[in-house]
Homo-oligomer: A and B are copies of this chain.
Amino acid sequence: MKKLINSPDTVVTQALQGVAAAHPQLKVDVENKVITRAGGPRTGKVGLVSGGGSGHEPLHGGFVGYGMLDAACPGEVFTSPVPDQMLIATRAVNGGAGVLHVVKNYTGDVLNFQMAAELAEDEGIEVVPIITNDDVAVEDSLYTAGRRGTGATVFVEKIAGALAEEGADLGTVAAGAREVNERSRSFGVALSSCVVPAAGKPTFELGDSEIELGIGIHGEPGRTRTTHSTASDLAAVALDAIGADLSLDTDLLVMVNGMGGTPLIELYLLFNEVRQQVEARGGRVARNLVGNYITSLEMQGFSVTVGQLTDTLTRLWDAPVDTPALRWGR
């Protein structure tokens, strides 16, 4: 294992110290592992909190800022944050208009966020959870009942964040978040494993020309292993899986996401394949993201997330955002 760390025990804490130093527009409570926007909550604005295991950076801390999240609580690597942490984040972003919890569908995250919501409600803070479950690869994966939540989480955080920023109430923000999740699907492919620092060895083994279709963002099993193929073939596999569950013949928001260890030149090449194949299926890539947005440490591979746009969703996607990892229009 070759990692740029000091010790597996201190990875998350020391990385958070780095986040704090790199981004003065964020306030980082290193001890409690909570990242918030500097300046505190805005009275009357719905607060947005997300969180989950570390190792998926820039998700979620990189999406804290104007027009997106108000707080993120990172757990240890690939481990859910704890309810207390979520409660601290919820309190910190409460401007009196309630708080949305954006939760990827992993059993630990869902249970812990539920407990945090109950604790917050006891303190008089209204909380609504939105659970993303966009990954079409498998039902009931290693850490999940139902479908896993992956790339759509980025879309949900952006669009719900835009709604909250323009003053929508909690019900409206939650409805928007739910709509985005319902209109989005993802599929991922691994070319190599990731290495969790505490484990010190690859989570799984792949042969020299073997890949895993439908991989999870923690390296949990996908649909099948097969022989590596061309970018064109892999784009087709992803779009077939997504297209079986979501119609593609409309204006789409498409993210071609790197798993952490894939060169950007390859992601652009893959995006070109996805775009052409979407067009051949009667759709149009109206908006896009190409890069590392929801990663699995150093895993080589990619995920494709497709969201059906409406005029309103396009407007909210285009709305100004100012976070470390996503920034435009402001």
Contacts and interface: CB of A to CB of B under 8 A. Distances in A.
Given A269-B14, A270-B4, A328-B327, A261 B298 contact: yes
Given A6-B230, A264-B295, 12 more contacts: A2-B211, A5-B231, A5-B269, A15-B265, A17-B272, A18-B271, A22-B268, A55-B263, A58-B264, A262-B298, A265-B297, A327-B328
Contacts of A6: 230-232, 269, 273
A67 interface: no
A265 B8 CA distance: 12
Given A231-B6, A262-B4, A57 B300 contact: no
Contact of A15 (B2, B18, B232, B272): B272
Interface residues of A, number: 58
Interface in A262-286: 262-273, 275, 285
Interface of A is mostly: mixed
A315 interface: no
6 contacts: A4-B234, A6-B231, A6-B269, A15-B272, A57-B264, A265-B297
A175 interface: no
A288 B230 contact: no
Interface string A21-32: 110000000000
A261 B21 contact: no
A203 B327 CA distance: 36
A129 interface: no
A191 interface: yes
B209 A2 contact: yes
Of A7, A12, A62, A264, most buried by chain B (CB within 10 Å of CB) is A264
A54 interface: yes
Contacts of A328: 327
Nearest to A56: B265
Contacts of A268: 15-16, 18-19, 22, 57
A15 B192 contact: no
A266 B58 contact: no
A265 B22 contact: no
A228 interface: yes
A302 B4 contact: yes
A14 B19 CA distance: 35
Interface string A59-77: 0001000000000000001
Interface in A218-268: 228, 230-232, 234, 260-268
A4 B54 CA distance: 26
Contacts of A272: 14-15, 17-18, 21
Given A2-B209, A4-B191, A265 B230 contact: no
A57 B289 CA distance: 15
Of A15, A261, A328, most buried by chain B (CB within 10 Å of CB) is A15
